[in-house]
Amino acid sequence: MKKKGRKGILALLVAAGTMMLGACAIMSQSKFGRHPEGEHLAFAEKSPHYVEGEFKNLTPTPMFTDDSTVVSVLLKSLFTSKERPVPKGPVPSAKTDLHALSRDKDVVIWLGHSSYYMQLGGKCILIDPVLSPYASPFSFTNRAFEESNVYSPEDIPDIDYLLISHDHWDHLDYETVMALKPRVKRVITGLGVGSHLDYWGYPKHKIREADWYTALELEDGMRIHILPARHFSGRGLTRNKTLWVSFALESPGRRIYFSGDTGYGPHLAEIGNRFDGFDLAILENGQYDKRWATIHMMPEETAQAAVELKAKALLPAHSGKFSISYHAWDDPFIRIAKASEDKPYRLLTPVIGDRVDLEDETQLFPYWWEGME
């Protein structure tokens, strides 16, 4: 082999090695969390949904529904412009003072994307809080829309139950959960996800991991059910070592369903029949694409899911703050409003921070996205 050829190969090997070392250094940061090990792994391995070293969906769920691959999707995201990915102006908000809310009021406050503050049965509940201005391991990607990140950890009261549906970056935010750590009494999540929180210093006695179809009997007649979703998990290159879940919350007077991230599937009608309906369903409605149609619902599927869940009211989630997919930023709102026109539920469309009063079964909100570009 000629000397120039050997030098070229050596240079390529050095470059590849440098890139690998750099990737390892990035992935070793605390915010990437830790795969289940020890008792976290032991619990996971006992699950009937943990097969050959990873969790499986109840129904076959390919990551892509065409010939796309992770590489092709990443390349498109780098070299293809999105259609109106962000609003031209600031996102409207109302910023309710959460500390001033009376504990005896059952309310839900949308914090943006899939993050919710809830008071139910006298308990303060926080779901999938992402209060950082980005939903990514890197601050320059997946930036929040202008003025959509209106709440900070300091705005959140002490939390009785922190619910985490899965460990993706736009649902489990390292900076947020670290800031809230002293004020969280208990964490409820799917199998394996507790390994991240344990690694980040959350006391083991505060973390409760559970499998699908587990009912947790809590204080004051509160019951939280860990239920299936149709999705996947992982904070790095390795997938499905932790479980993705949905939640049903029951107080003595109310039932609420939170879907987490999910594709449409038979689990939704089954849950609706199991609980004989919900006062409110908070359902995923954003970041969809025909190429990954099994892991996120189209808005029309979200509307059908609300019917199958026998929901009295629908509160759409997973949009309005980050642009992670290729659809226009307001497409989820436009389509869910149209799909809901002939449905038996109320469509709730508050701005970020506005108060949904669960005792008011006539409450409605304007379509705030109309007139925005």
Residues 135-159: tens digit of each pLDDT: 999 998 999 999 999 999 999 999 9
Say what the pLDDT of residue 18 is. 42
Question: 224, 53 in Cβ contact below 8 A?
Answer: no
Strands 280-284 and 255-258: parallel
Question: 93, 150 in Cβ contact below 8 A?
Answer: yes
Residue 21 lies in a domain: no
Task: Single out the residue of 124, 131, 140, 113 nearest to residue 282, CA to CA.
Answer: 113
Residue 8 predicted with pLDDT over 60: no
Residue 287 lies in a domain: yes
How far is CA 343 from its chain centroid?
25
The sign of the torsion formed by the CA atoms of 136, 139, 144, 148 equals: positive
235-273 pLDDT, tens digit each: 998 999 999 999 999 999 999 999 999 999 999 999 999
Give mean pLDDT, residues 347-359.
98
Residue 25 lies in a domain: no
Whole-angstrom distance, CA of residue 74 vs CA of residue 62 = 17
Whole-angstrom distance, CA of residue 151 vs CA of residue 352 = 9
User: What is the Rg, in whole angstroms, of the alpha carbon atoms belonging to the chain?
Assistant: 21
Domain of 314, in residue numbers: 98-357
- CATH number reported for the structural domain that contains residue 169 in this entry: 3.60.15.10
Secondary structure of residue 212 in the 3-state scheme: coil
Strands 50-51 and 245-250: unpaired
Residue 299 lies in a domain: yes
Say what the pLDDT of residue 298 is. 98
Residue 307 lies in a domain: yes
Q: How many domains does the chain have?
A: 1
Residue 203 lies in a domain: yes
Mean of pLDDT over the chain: 92
Whole-angstrom distance, CA of residue 268 vs CA of residue 58 = 12
280-320 pLDDT, tens digit each: 999 999 999 999 999 999 999 999 999 999 999 999 999 99
Say what the pLDDT of residue 83 is. 84
Is the model's pTM score more than 0.95?
no
